[in-house]
Amino acid sequence: MKIVECVPNISEGRDKVKIDAVTSVVEKVKGVKLLDVDPGEATNRTVITFIGNPDGVAEAAFQLVKKASEVIDMRSQKGAHPRMGAIDVCPFVPVAGVTMEDCAEIARKVGKRIGDELEIPVYLYEEAASKEEWKNLANVRKGQYEGLEARFTGEDADYWKPDFGPAKFNPKAGATAVGAREFLIAYNINLNTRDRKIAHDIALDIREKGRAKRDKDGKIIRDENGKALKKPGIFTHCKAVGWVIEEYGRAQISINFTNYKLTPIHKVFDECIKQAEKRGARVTGSELVGLIPKQALLDAGKYYLNKMGKSIGVPESELIHHAVLSLGVDELYPF
C-alpha cells in the first residue's frame, strides 16, 4: 500500500468558517483521510494534516490550495508566524510504499497545476527544490508576503522567478512553497516571560543555523562578498525562532525538528531549560503543533525514566505519560 502525508499550512487561524471551508474539500476526496486541524490565533495560521494514496493526496492538496486562495485575502492578513501566501507551505511526506523522490514528483505535479490553473507563484523547496539554497524554506520565504512585489520587479527578479506560475505579484494569494520532506515536528517551548529577546536569543544558540559571528567589539564578521559568517548552533536538524504569543501571555521558542531521531525533542527541551536559567528565565512547559510520531514520545519517556533511575520496561502508555509530564506538553491545554 502506498501512503503519502500532506501538511499544508494556511494563513488563517482565527476564522473557523474559513478554516472549515478549506478543510471540507479534503474530506470530499476519495482515498484521503483528514487527520488533524490545528489552528493558532496569535500565529493566524492553521496546520492541516491528511494522508492517503498518492493520487488522492495530490488532488486533495490542489483542491485545498484552490479553496484557501478563494477565502483568504493576504492584503489584510497579520500574524506572528512568517508567511508569504494564503497557502504558505504544502509539503508531501513519504509514509509507506513511496520514496522521497515519489513525493518530490507529486510536489512538482501539484505545483505546476497550482501555477497553471490558479496563477499563484510556486516555489519548490526541501527535497523538491530546483536550487540548492531553496532547500531551506527560510530562504524561499525571505521577505515574506510584504516583500513579494519587490521580488518580482527588483534587480534580482531573474533569481526569484518561480518554478511554476507567473513571475508577478498576486496580491490576494501571495506565493506558495510546495515541497517534499521527512516528517517534521512543530514544537514550542514556553517561557515564564513576555520578553521575545530572551526566547530568540535561546533559539539562536540551539538552532543548526546558529547566529552571526561577531568580533570583540560586537560587529558582525563578514566574508569577502559581504555575507555574514555564522556560528553554528548546538543542534543539527533544528530550526528555531523566538516569539511572543499574546493569547498565552508568554514568549516561546518555536522549533521545527526535521529529524527527531538525530535531534530528539527531549534533548532540546532540557538544553532550553539550561539556556533559560542562564538568562534568568524559566521553561514552564511546551506545546505540540499538529501531529508527532509516537516513537518520539516513547523515546522521551524512556529518557526521563532513565534519568530518574527507573526501569523503562513499562507499557507504552506509561512511557507516553512520563513524556507528557516531563515535557509539560499539557501546560496550555489538554494533550
Q: What residues are labeled active site?
A: 81
**Nearest alpha carbon to residue 140 among 112, 121, 115:** 121
For 32, the 3-state DSSP assignment is strand
Residue 245 in contact with residue 43, Cβ under 8 Å?
A: yes
Q: What does the block give as the cell for 321?
A: 505519560
Question: How many other C-beta atoms lie within 10 A of the C-beta of residue 283?
Answer: 22
Residues 300, 116: Cα–Cα separation, whole Å: 45
CA–CA gap between residue 95 and residue 1 (Å, rounded): 10
- Would you call 149 exposed, middle or buried from its count of C-beta atoms within 10 A (0-12, 13-18, 19+)? middle
Task: Select from 122, 101, 100, 99 the least CA-distant residue to 110.
Answer: 122
Kindly state the cell numbers that stand for 203.
Answer: 533559539
